Amino acid sequence: MKPKMEANIGSLAVIGVDIGKEVFHIVGLGVDGKIAFRRKIRRSGLKEAFEKLPPCIVGMEACLSAHFVSRVLRALGHEPRIIPAIYVKPFLKGQKNDYNDAEAIAEAALRPNLRVVQEKSQDQLDLQACHRVRSRLVSRRTATINQIRAFLIEQGIAVRAGPRALRNSLFAILENRKDEISPRIALLTVGDHRLVFGRAGPLYRRLSRSDRQALVHLLQPLADDGADEFVERVQHRFRRVCDALA
């Protein structure tokens, strides 16, 4: 049977929220430590549901969208606490399910010396996303460079590690030892070299322009709203990164 909201919610001490992709499970504990209500709500109804509840401590695990949910609840007058999952596990009772998880989160949120995750602002999340995009691009570049070096070492040609050594020596190696390297390997290495360093390949250049425009478009509203110096530095940094990859 689906748990329903109970009538007596005036003496709430804490609410535990188990965050899902589409559905949230919430459990409220009263000042006496007993369960006041258990309820399942959809993500779209989060604000409406918490507007009807008295302001109190709201605990949630550190996961995707936890910072967004925390900001929404703080705007409604609640006191959100983002808790690392490792600190919630000791309070889990019985079989693991969404309601038991929410109850464990609620009990963990009441601990006086609990370490919580600092809530991130939208600017901080945007900057984090930019760093993750750059990390993905660097990781892909490193993997491709290592693969080119592996192709060459199979032909008895050793190239020093690092992008600069490969960038400066690959075409000279292919020219000087073209009798030893098969046409297929030469074609593959040149294609990967152009993909990594952006010296040709109209498709890659076209994608890099769109990536550059997307990053600048992402950061521009922050500059328009806040005009912070760090936003300008981030914009300049990522323009340089995208120009280097183009």
Pairing between β-strand 35-42 and β-strand 23-30 as defined by DSSP bridges: antiparallel
DSSP assignments along 40-89, one per residue: EEEGGGHHHHHHTSPS-EEEEES-TTHHHHHHHHHHTT-EEEEE-HHHHG
pLDDT of residue 109: 92
Report helix, strand or coil for 2: coil
Q: What is the pLDDT of residue 99?
A: 92
pLDDT score recorded for residue 129: 85
User: Residue 60: CB partners within 8 Å, gap ≥ 6?
Assistant: 16, 17, 18, 19, 66, 69, 70, 80, 81, 82, 83, 105
Is 101 exposed, middle or buried, given 0-12, 13-18 or 19+ CB atoms closer than 10 A?
A: buried
> Which strand ranges, in their side-by-side order, compose the sheet holding 12-18?
35-42, 23-30, 12-18, 57-61, 79-83
> Where do the domains of the chain lie?
12-109, 122-245
CA distance 161 to 109: 49
Give the pLDDT score at 5.
47
Residues written for the chain:
246
- Phi, psi dihedral angles at 164 (to 5 degrees): -65, -45
Amino acid at 100: N
Residue with tokens 């993500």: 43
| Cα–Cα distance measured from residue 4 to residue 33, given in angstroms and rounded to the nearest whole number | 19
CATH dotted code for 12-109 = 3.30.420.40
Helices assigned H by DSSP within 111-156: 122-154
One digit per residue, the tens of pLDDT, for the chain of length 246 reads 345 445 456 678 899 999 999 999 999 998 888 889 999 999 999 999 999 899 999 999 999 899 999 999 999 999 999 999 999 998 988 888 999 999 999 999 999 888 899 999 888 888 888 888 888 878 888 888 888 888 888 888 888 887 888 878 888 888 788 777 777 777 777 777 666 666 433 333 333 455 555 555 555 554 454 445 545 555 565 555 555 544
